C-alpha cells in the first residue's frame, strides 16, 4: 500500500509506520503545525512532506491524490477533517488515545484519569464525519496505576499506539 500520514506533533507514530510497516511505503507526510517534530523525522527518513492548514481541503486532497495513496493515516492529526476530505478517499484511519467510544475528542487521557478509571488505552478506527465514531478496527488496553500522572499515563498510551498502529496497517494491507 501507498500510505499518506497526517500529523501535528512530534511524529513518533509517523516514524513507527515508516519503520514497522515493511510491506508498505509511506509516500508523503502532511503536517499542520509549522515547526512540529515530524518534519525532522520526515527529513531523516527521506519522506516528502508538506504543510497544510486543516482548512485547506483542496490542497490536502490534491497532495494526497498526487501521491496516489491507498491509505491515509491520521497519526496525531489534531484537527477535524471535513466531509469533503473524508469523501475524497476510500480508506482513512485514525489512532485515538482512549478506548472508544469513551472520551472522544481532545484530552481523552486526562478525562480517563479524572474519572478514576482503572483502564484506558488506544483505538484505531475508520474516519467518518462524526468525530471519533467510525468503525473500530482494533484497541489496546493500558492499565491506569495508582501513581499515574498525565505524563506517565500518556507515555504508556503512546507506547501502546506505537505497537497497535503498525499492526493494524500491516493487517489492512493483507485484506
The CA distance from 87 to 20, in Å, is 28
pTM value > 0.85: yes
| Phi and psi angles of residue 33, each rounded to the nearest 5 degrees, phi first | -110, 130
Residue among 24, 31, 96, 125 flagged as catalytic: 96
The CA distance from 98 to 135, in Å, is 14
96 as an active site residue: the answer is yes
CATH of the domain at 148: 3.40.50.170
Q: Give the model confidence (pLDDT) of 132-155 as tens digits.
A: 999 999 999 999 999 999 999 999
| Domain encompassing residue 106 | 2-174
Q: Count up the domains in the chain and report the number.
A: 1
pLDDT above 90: residue 9: yes
Average pLDDT (75-90) is 94
Average pLDDT (68-89) is 96
Amino acid at each position: 500500500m501507498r500510505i499518506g500520514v497526517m500529523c501535528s506533533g512530534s511524529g513518533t507514530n509517523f516514524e513507527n509506520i515508516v519503520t514497522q510497516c515493511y510491506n508498505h511505503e509511506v509516500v508523503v507526510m502532511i503536517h499542520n503545525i509549522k515547526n512540529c517534530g515530524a518534519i525532522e523525522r520526515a527529513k531523516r527518513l527521506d519522506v516528502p512532506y508538506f504543510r497544510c492548514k486543516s482548512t485547506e481541503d483542496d490542497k490536502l486532497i490534491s497532495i494526497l491524490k498526487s501521491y496516489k495513496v491507498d491509505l491515509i493515516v491520521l497519526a496525531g492529526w489534531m484537527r477535524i477533517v471535513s466531509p469533503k476530505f473524508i469523501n475524497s478517499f476510500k480508506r482513512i484511519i485514525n489512532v485515538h488515545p482512549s478506548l472508544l467510544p469513551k472520551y472522544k475528542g481532545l484530552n481523552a487521557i486526562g478525562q480517563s484519569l479524572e474519572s478514576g478509571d482503572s483502564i484506558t488505552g488506544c483505538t484505531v478506527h475508520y474516519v467518518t464525519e462524526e468525530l471519533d465514531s467510525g468503525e473500530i478496527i482494533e484497541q489496546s488496553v493500558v492499565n491506569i496505576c495508582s501513581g499515574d500522572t498525565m505524563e506517565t499515563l500518556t507515555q504508556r498510551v503512546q507506547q501502546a499506539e506505537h505497537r497497535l498502529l503498525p499492526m493494524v496497517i500491516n493487517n489492512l494491507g493483507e485484506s
